[in-house]
């Protein structure tokens, strides 16, 4: 029997939206099976293709471009590194920790073809890669 009380259905709708937002946030950074030197998280990636380039945007909040390793081999692109806590926060009490820390790696299968890294830049916590089609 549906509830016709506006306060009740609005509250139910708000709770559902909050739950959906939390599920999306958890999916944003997928955790991998960790252990030792193995990566423990995979950054999300957007890929766009134009007539001459593949553009990739990899979310790496708090990372500096020089700390990110990028390599291509056998039609695969590998982005890896480690996101560490700033030294002054290592002894801090953690109240919430939603942005992942530790080793990360993302291996991306490239579309068929030959590519070379043409441009690399870090913009607002996003690694932007341009792969030129050969």
**Right CATH for 30-133 from 3.40.630.10, 3.30.460.10, 2.60.40.790, 1.10.10.10:** 2.60.40.790
**pLDDT of 28-67, one tens digit each?**
555 555 455 677 899 999 999 999 999 999 999 989 888 9
Kindly report the number of other CB atoms within 10 A of residue 129's CB atom.
Answer: 24
Closest-CA residue to 123 (of 73, 68, 64, 81): 64
Q: Which residues of 3-20 are buried (b: 16+ CB within 10 A; e: fewer)?
A: eeeeeeeeeeeeeeeeee
pTM of structure: 0.71
Q: Where are the domains of the chain?
A: 30-133
Express each pLDDT in 61-109 by its tens digit: 989 888 999 999 999 999 999 998 888 988 889 898 888 888 999 999 9
């Amino acid at each position: 029997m549906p509830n016709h009380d506006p306060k009740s259905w609005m509250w139910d709708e708000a709770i559902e939206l909050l739950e959906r937002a939390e599920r999306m946030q958890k999916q944003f950074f997928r955790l991998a099976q960790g252990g030792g030197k193995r990566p423990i998280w995979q950054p999300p990636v957007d890929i766009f293709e134009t007539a001459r380039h593949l553009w990739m945007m990899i979310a790496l909040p708090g990372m500096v471009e020089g700390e990110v390793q990028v390599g291509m081999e056998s039609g695969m692109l590998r982005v890896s590194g480690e996101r560490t806590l700033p030294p002054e926060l290592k002894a801090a009490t953690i109240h919430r920790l939603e942005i992942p820390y530790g080793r990360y790696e993302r291996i991306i299968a490239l579309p068929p073809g030959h590519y070379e890294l043409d441009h690399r830049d870090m913009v607002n916590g996003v690694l932007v890669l341009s792969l030129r089609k050969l």
